Amino acid sequence: MIQKRHKYTLLIGLVLLWNSATFAQQVKWDSTARPDVYKAQVELFRSLPHSRMDIVFLGNSITFWAAWNDLLGDLRYKNRGIPGDITFGVLERLDEVIDGKPAKVFILIGINDLARQIPDDVILENYRRMVRRLKAGTPKTRIYFQTLLPTNDTFQKLKNHYNKEKNIQYLNQALKEMAPREGFEVIDLHAHFVDEAGKLRKEYTWDGVHLTLAGYQKWAEMLRKGKYIP
């Protein structure tokens, strides 16, 4: 009887341990994480004037650190990047973009999701949600997703962001496959920023994730050559 009870206790313990491990896997990422600057930036965005002629750049710090209207020489370009933002944060503030009904929106988001261990398929579903909300709320806005950039771990500064190339390749390919079904365009930045080793070119970055002036100039050049902007 004691032996049976011991086996039963052991079995319960193993089940609880398995459930705990499974639960830990499910909750190891947080959709509610927002950078400290998030609220202040969103309030600023909401306070600014909007125009149907606007061309919006939407994303995280990679977008944020470009002075788009100066770089591209036109006040119509609006910077809606927030450092540290993730796809859930973009969805939370997407109404500000939709209410402005801009002519175009260029989206680059996802590397911080990967750094926070948010699963690829969750990120991909958030991309789909962005597109569908934009199409429903501002149907005349042209939607462009830009592929995730590679990273470069030789800089050893943002270790949580490095070595995500398989995830990046998966998401970029999935975006390309989703585009004709959902009705948006994809701009393949990745192909023009990656080196022979599969890393972000050193001349385009200062920490293996964020861009140098040369990186932003390359980005602007691609947009112009593709005739996505004047």
Residue 19 shares a structural domain with residue 41: no
Mapped onto helix, strand or coil, the DSSP state of residue 109 is coil
Residue 24 shares a structural domain with residue 68: no
Q: How far is CA 160 from CA 67, 114, 192, 198, in A?
A: 26, 8, 23, 17
* pTM of the model as a whole: 0.88
Q: How far apart are CA 219 and CA 68, in angstroms?
A: 11
Residue 36 shares a structural domain with residue 19: no
Confidence of residue 5 (pLDDT cuts 50, 70, 90): low
Residue 206 shares a structural domain with residue 96: yes
Q: Tens digit of pLDDT for each residue in 118-166? A: 999 999 999 999 999 999 999 999 999 999 999 999 998 999 999 999 9
Q: How far apart are CA 40 and CA 108, in angstroms?
A: 21
Instruction: Give me the domain span that covers residue 54.
Output: 31-225
Q: For the chain, what is the radius of gyration of the CA atoms? A: 21
Residue 8 shares a structural domain with residue 68: no
Q: Tens digit of pLDDT for each residue in 42-56? A: 999 999 999 999 999
The mean pLDDT of the chain is: 91
Position 21 scores a pLDDT of 40
Residue 62 shares a structural domain with residue 121: yes
| Nearest of 143, 124, 123, 119 to residue 133 by alpha carbon | 143
Residue 58 shares a structural domain with residue 143: yes
Contacts of 176 (CB under 8 A, 6+ apart): 147, 186, 188
Position 184 scores a pLDDT of 98
In a domain, 230, yes or no: no
